[in-house]
Amino acid sequence: MSTRIEYDVLLVGGSPSNLTLAYRLLELAKESGKELTIAILEKGKEFGSHICSGAVSHPHVIEKVWPNYKEMGFPIEAVCNDSNMSVLGTEKKWDLPPNLYPKTFDKSGYFVLTLSNVVAWMAQKVQEKAKEVPNVALDLFNGFSAHSVVFENGRVAGVSVVEKPQSDEDYVFGKIICFGDKGFVSRDVIDKYNLRDCPQIWSVGVKEVWQVNEDYAGKVWHTLGYPLLEGTFGGGFVYGMKDKRLTIGMVISLDSKDPNMNPQLKLQEYKKHPWIQSMIAGGKLLKYGAALLPEGGYYSLPKKFAVPGAILLGDALGVLNVKNLAGIDRSMECGRVAAELIADIFAKGGDFTEEALAPYQKTLENSFVIKESYHDRYFRWTFMENPRLLGQYIPKVAKGVDSGHPLLGTIKAGFPNPFQAAGDALRALGLMEQGKDIGPIKYQADYKHIVADFTPPKMDEPKFDKATVYSRADAVFFAGPKYHEGNIHIDEYNADTCVKCIKTYEGLGKTTPCVADCTAEVHRVDIVADLRKHGMSLENCIQCRTCEIVCPEVNLRVRPTEQGSGPDFMGL
């Protein structure tokens, strides 16, 4: 057998959390003189190429980790100087007065970021810092995925770096393994140790970057209403960046009743709104992408944030706060806290037991990361327990916006029972803002919310320039996926199950959720020997995992790509 490849610290995923961890750990090792070996595995061809995010982020953690970030050239697109929460009808937009929406959605002073560029910058700074620390050996492995987790003697010991390992060289081991992925492999750690009582629930973010003719740098909008007028939780966002570029996107929850919701199509509908049409007229689409967001919040967190030999960070942990769409600063804080604990454990001998790692969770629980998550623990649940909020009230308000006066127009549009509406508003306010305690909650997996025969109400379609909207097949080009031959990275567990699923949905005049909700034209229905079967165009996949989450039969699993294959989200 060949020599076992082992590092002191193995970071799975080139994420903001892991790169923050690596940078801070290098600083601490420079101070202590402790000899360490560190490896970072990144499945993309380069650091940042699989990163797709909004992104508007509070700068407080950036300022802690890189106090001189300006001099270091931290890549900021703009500082938000005009923050808005808006409701869209099909024709008009209403910017809400600040007292009518949560203060957390005021992004004034926040950084508008291109997160793929931030991650590339972080990886560069980690490498530069390593040159200052001769007592640390750092290896960055871009194009290397973690495919499975190695468990030895009750602890997490390493990961395989090929799909079908043949020898010891196909594994990388570590004294401490830090998972900063979006669940590709960290889910196996959570399952192995039975860490999650309440399922994680997910939304998908679909996003485009446009070159436009006007300068919107620093302007930020978050929107409710059109085109999500059928009861699905979610909304849109428009962020102004430097060099006359716009980020236009939607975050759409995957617990939608609609089995044919189609997130990429929803984004195109969003762009048809006259307000957005006015901004992108004469512009040019530059990039397209999609990614999952963990939105379960406090009650979907694992019971333990660390197990023997491993720590969960960022999206692997699920620290995004959906109330204010804040995840980047929380992920970075996970990395910063983890680095200081890891350095301390190495100083004490380097035994990464569950007891030794327990302060990681305690520190986060005493920080803004978990305190705010606890305070906002019922935000997502509020919309689940009362479907009238999204299914009746938001559509009526949107109709009122189109009528010319949002409040009076809403009444004219036939607002439901005012006494019931007032009661619903007080209940929602109590849960979302005033900390009313109703005890623990438990979500259902997203696919369980699908209503197979659900048909969304028809919407009036605004006038739009056809040159500004793209079919899903065309959008794939702007995500830039490239795959090595034979890279089969989506498992279909049972082909007969798919055949039955296709029959069920086509019998209702629909297609299956995996086909409809795919963000990149991967899944399809093929006719093979007169049988309608599930097929896949894997060369189009952009690694978002939406298909896996919405599959009503739990018959799919998306695995990380190999050899740097997949989308190219740089600049997204």
CATH class of 6-70+115-197+301-375: alpha beta
pLDDT > 90: percent of the chain: 88
**Domain assignments of the chain as residue spans, ordered by start:** 6-70+115-197+301-375, 379-440, 475-558
Cross-strand bridge partners of residue 83? 220
Cβ-contact 348, 176 below 8 angstroms = no
Average of per-residue pLDDT across 50-64: 95
Per-residue pLDDT tens over the stretch 404-432: 877 665 555 566 677 788 888 889 989 98
The two tokens of residue 95 are: 């910017």
Q: Do you know the residue count of the chain?
A: 572
pLDDT value of residue 221? 98
Mean pLDDT, rounded, for 44-63: 96
Of 109-118, 295-304, 426-435, 537-546, the one with minimum mean pLDDT is 426-435
Fold of 475-558: Alpha-Beta Plaits (3.30.70)
Question: Can you give the pLDDT at residue 1?
Answer: 43
Structure tokens at 43: 């499945």
pLDDT average, residue stretch 441-455: 97
Phi, psi of 378 (to 5 degrees): -105, 5
The structure tokens 């060369």 sit at 539
**If you average pLDDT over every residue of the chain, what do you get?**
95
Cite the DSSP H helix spans in 489-572.
Answer: 495-506, 513-517, 546-550
Per-residue pLDDT at 255: 97
d(CA 176, CA 311): 8
Instruction: List Cβ neighbours of 90 (8 Å cut-off, separation of 6 or more).
Output: 226, 273, 398, 402, 459, 460, 461, 462
Average pLDDT over residues 501-514: 98
| Residue 264 pLDDT exceeds 90 | yes
The answer to whether 156 and 173 are in contact (CB under 8 A) is: no
Number of helical H runs and strand E runs in the chain: 20, 22
Overall pTM surpassing 0.85 (yes/no): yes
Mean pLDDT of 60-77: 98
pLDDT in tens, 103-131: 888 999 999 999 999 999 999 999 999 99
Q: 3-class SS at 169?
A: helix
